[in-house]
Chains A and B, each alone.
Chain A
Amino acid sequence: MTAETLLYLEGVSVSFDGFKALNNLNLDVGTNEMRAIIGPNGAGKTTMMDVITGKTKPDEGRVSFRENALTSMDEVAIAEIGIGRKFQKPTVFESHTVWDNLELAMKAKRSTFASLHWKLTAGQRDTIQNTLERISLVPSSQNFAGNLSHGQKQWLEIGMLLMQEPELLLVDEPVAGMTDAETEKTAALLRDIAKTSAVVVVEHDMDFIRALDVRVTVLHEGSVLAEGRLDAVQNNQRVIDVYLGR
């Protein structure tokens, strides 16, 4: 554990009706690090994200983000200290415009009364405009998010994470259902984001992981099977047996 560790999971276990979704999981992610998580279905990737974001409470173990113990906080408190999450299925506000989606995600006071009196400043307008450019949705800014293509919804959701200005982004399957061109663009976008925040990406697409060119953690049956550069991991016999070989 180095001095710049941002997220730290130690001995985390979660079971659902006797099924061990996470089994003594250990993981640490550094400040501004991008980490890819791979593993077969049921390896515990999404459960791990649920634990970090407070959706699921672990039965055992410690989860910390800087000096905060995440296990004693709820989803909202965890979002407030700077952890943003993109869901596996793209989840945006379909009946709001792309612009409104970003505006709602923008870092600001979240209380009911602050929302009643909210007025967008010129600086905040620029921030939204910048994000629209980063996620290539400028022309769709006034379209309803529900009318976007699947890939565009993925980008919008990533854009919403950016508006939260989190220190850590958890990104669950960002390129599922994307074309090759879109996948490439997404990889570039995430690499760009990783310059300023830590990013944890869960993905199945090996070409995409290769394009990210980052440290990879392989999960299997709720714990870490292997960790390292993609090449090394891909040549690991146990990884080939349980995951890649199939």
Chain B
Amino acid sequence: MITKSLMPSLGRAGFIFLAVLAVVGIAVPTSNLFTSTDSFMHVPDYAVTLGGKYLCYALLALSVDLVWGYCGILSLGHGAFFALGGYAMGMYMMRQIGARGVYGNAELPDFMVFLNWKVLPWYWHGFEYFPFAVLMIVLAPGILAFVFGWFAFRSRVTGVYLSIITQAMTYALLLAFFRNDMGFGGNNGLTDFKDILGFSVQAAGTRATLFMLSALALALCFIVARAIVNSKFGKIIIGIRDAESRTRFLGYRVEHYKLFIFVISAIMAGVAGALYVPQVGIINPSEFAPSNSIEAVIWTAFGGRGTLWGAALGAIVINAVKSYLTGALPNAWLFVLGGLAVVVTIYMPKGLAGFFAGWSRLPTKSKLPSSLAEAAE
């Protein structure tokens, strides 16, 4: 029954994507925890953490696709929302360290003791409670996106100008978070985490659970995003992407539609960041680097804009290649990334998703006119 009502909104490709995600989300942690290390079925600990990281990147790419692929908002600052979600989670885990830090101060995180601070800044209060941290994971990126989008969309900043100010936004945050007196650990960021909800972040069980949660978050956000883009709302944002003034003269408040989808997307990016931080064990200002946001856009383009699952796939494939190449051929990685961006733009305008759609003759948007590609630029 539920499958039946979901099928049309997910599409065949979306259904396959979710099925694969479910299998991976269950099989990888199970194999890691319950098979012996010398079994050929065993997934080693480092691979679980790496895979969990890819899933978070996939969710970030999905959030970029939601605004760029469907609404034509090319955000080059989505890394900022990802990082804010990550910092909110990081602050919670810093508070969990308690007296186990290097300085043994139960009240203050190490970096504050080091800076000779005597009291906890007001904005750190509440982060010792997990539900409060979860609330902040949603609110911090959501409110930033709301305020930023409110001004940008109302002033009708579009196209490349919008991309530039999103870039400026994440760069401004990068500089701000670098400062020690901001109270977020400055250059070093937040690290040396001990546990999350009482479970050691180093333990295999915690790692496996985080992997599973990352897969679950990706799946849920995918379903929500699909439901949005298949509703009339989704058709309207596609209309905004292709013919913004037409939509406005039909009587739709374009700025409200953009704002709504931008905030939803930012929250998804924040959730991705929050799941990312406990798995990599650190959050520092470099997550705000403009190049991170641009990479997320490349994953999305490589995977295929306007499909959601394509963007997620693109993020996973590129990051897997990156992990391999930075180990095997450290000097070649950036050339490969640059080369990919060029190849995708010229030969694969619809990305991996378009390639698969053509190859398996899925009834997707292959009938789309070529002018669409230009209109979406």
Say whether A associates with B. yes
Which A residues fall within an 8 A CB radius of B?
Answer: 53, 55, 75-76, 79-80, 84-85, 87, 91-96, 100, 103-105, 110-112, 115-118, 144, 146-147, 160, 164
Contact B368 A53 (CB under 8 A): no
- 9 intermolecular pairs with C-beta atoms under 8 Å apart: A91-B245, A92-B246, A94-B375, A95-B375, A104-B236, A115-B257, A118-B232, A144-B367, A146-B371
**Interface bin, chain B:** 20 to 34
Given A94-B375, A147-B367, also A115-B239 (CB < 8 A): no
Q: Is the CB of B365 within 8 A of A76?
A: no
Does B197 have its Cβ within 8 Å of any Cβ on chain A?
Answer: no
Contact A110–B252 (Cβ < 8 Å): yes
Residue B100 at the chain A interface, CB threshold 8 Å: no
Could you list 11 further interchain pairs (A-B, Cβ under 8 angstroms) beyond the known A85-B249, A104-B239, A115-B236? A79-B249, A79-B250, A94-B369, A95-B365, A95-B369, A96-B235, A103-B232, A115-B257, A116-B232, A118-B233, A146-B368
A-B residue pairs, 7 tightest by C-beta: A146-B369, A79-B251, A118-B232, A115-B233, A115-B232, A91-B246, A116-B233
Contact A118 B251, beta carbon cutoff 8 Å: no
Given the complex, which residues of A lie within 8 Å of B369, measured CB to CB?
94-95, 144, 146-147
- Tell me whether A94 and B252 are in contact in the complex, defined as CB-CB below 8 angstroms, given that A103-B232, A115-B233 are known contacts: no
**Given A79-B251, A94-B369, residue A112 in contact with residue B260 (CB < 8 A):** yes
Cβ-defined partner of A87 (8 Å) among B246, B253, B256, B260: B246
A84 to B249, CA, bound (A): 7
Minimum CB–CB distance from B176 to chain A (whole Å) comes to 31
User: Is B243's CB within 8 Å of the partner chain A?
Assistant: yes
Contacts of B228 in A (CB 8 A): 116
Which residues of the other chain, B, contact A144 by a CB distance below 8 angstroms? 367-369
**A112 CA to B258 CA, complexed, in Å:** 10
Whether B257 contacts A112 by the Cβ 8 Å rule is yes
With beta carbons under 8 angstroms apart, the residue of B233, B246, B365 that contacts A93 is B246
Provide the residues of chain A in CB contact with B239, threshold 8 Å: 93, 96, 104
Do the beta carbons of A104 and B233 come within 8 Å of each other? Answer: no
Do A100 and B235 touch across chains, with their CB atoms under 8 A apart?
A: yes
Query: Which of A55, A95, A110, A116 touches B242 (beta carbons < 8 Å)?
Result: A95
